[in-house]
Amino acid sequence: MNDTSGLLVLSGPSGAGKSSLINKIADVIGSYYFSISTTTRPMRKGEVDGVHYYFVTEAAFKKDIEADNFLEYALVHGNYYGTSIKPVKKALKKGKLVIFDIDVQGHDEVKNRMGDLTTSVFITTPSLKELKSRLMNRATDAQAVIDNRIEMAKREVQRISEYDYLIINDNLDEAAKALISIAKAARMKIPSLEINEFVYRWEAK
């Protein structure tokens, strides 16, 4: 595959399997950069700073907001999450596909600022019942946190129509095949400015 840049936004409820899908397709989608979010939430057991997230204080996060260093940011479950813009621009210049794992608020911001390059996918479980089961079986969060995630999932699902694609992650292999196809298409998306320039050159010849 010829490596051309693009933005691939993945959203969906916690427990839908976004991380598992990314790991599944990583070796077959060409050169890519997975955008690591910055967050003010506490580090969980097994997480590594700079690998899973960039963990910062709320004061440091707000300082970056004031400096306009985020492509998008949001307050989720009492903690800030954001995407630093510099590494994203650097990856795009190198012809990489930039992959985001962000919520619906973040999707709005990315689409508003870089809509021409953005391809978006909403990933979810087949049902609310299945989502509840996965969150409970994961056993990484307190019941109050799980309840909060379920309520947020109910709100997020109402906004699926704002995305380019929907993947129902019932079978990981099948969902991965769909996401690989979408990732390839995301690299081929042409900004409207380039389209206008092509039309101008085409008419001039």
For position 166, what pLDDT does the model report? Answer: 98
Q: How far apart are CA 123 and CA 97, in angstroms?
A: 18
Question: pLDDT averaged over the chain?
Answer: 91
Q: What is the per-residue pLDDT across 48-106, written as a single tens digit (0 to 9) for each? A: 998 889 999 999 999 999 999 998 888 888 999 999 988 898 999 999 999 999 889 88
Residue 153 lies in a domain: yes
Asked whether the predicted pLDDT for residue 203 surpasses 70, the reply is: yes
Residue 97 lies in a domain: yes
Tokens for 17? 């399997």
Nearest to 127 by CA among 106, 150, 96: 150
- 193 neighbors 199 (Cβ within 8 angstroms): no
Read off the pLDDT of each residue in 17-29 and give the average, rounded to a whole number: 93
Q: How far apart are CA 189 and CA 8, in angstroms?
A: 11
CATH of the domain at 165: 3.40.50.300
Asked whether the predicted pLDDT for residue 1 surpasses 80, the reply is: no
Q: How far apart are CA 72 and CA 47, in angstroms?
A: 22
For position 25, what pLDDT does the model report? Answer: 95
- 177 neighbors 19 (Cβ within 8 angstroms): no
Residue 1 lies in a domain: no
3-state secondary structure of 158: coil
Residues 6+ apart with CB under 8 A from 46: none
Q: How many domains does the chain have?
A: 1
Residue 167 lies in a domain: yes
| Of residues 17 and 205, more confidently modeled | 17
Beta-bridged to residue 123, according to DSSP, are 167
Q: What is the pTM of this model?
A: 0.83
Tokens for 48? 């590594």
Residue 184 structural domain: 6-204
For position 33, what pLDDT does the model report? Answer: 93
| Of residues 200 and 171, more confidently modeled | 171
Q: What is the per-residue pLDDT across 154-170, written as a single tens digit (0 to 9) for each? A: 999 999 999 999 999 99
For position 3, what pLDDT does the model report? Answer: 64
Sequence letter at residue 197: E
Provide the pLDDT confidence category of residue 193 given band limits of 50, 70 and 90: confident
Nearest to 21 by CA among 139, 199, 159, 177: 177
In order, the DSSP letters of 89-118 are HHHHHTTPEEEEE--HHHHHHHHHHHGGGE
48, 88, 139 from 95: Cα distances, Å: 27, 11, 39
3-state secondary structure of 47: coil
22, 38, 182 from 65: Cα distances, Å: 28, 11, 32
Q: What is the per-residue pLDDT across 132-150, written as a single tens digit (0 to 9) for each? A: 999 998 877 888 889 999 9
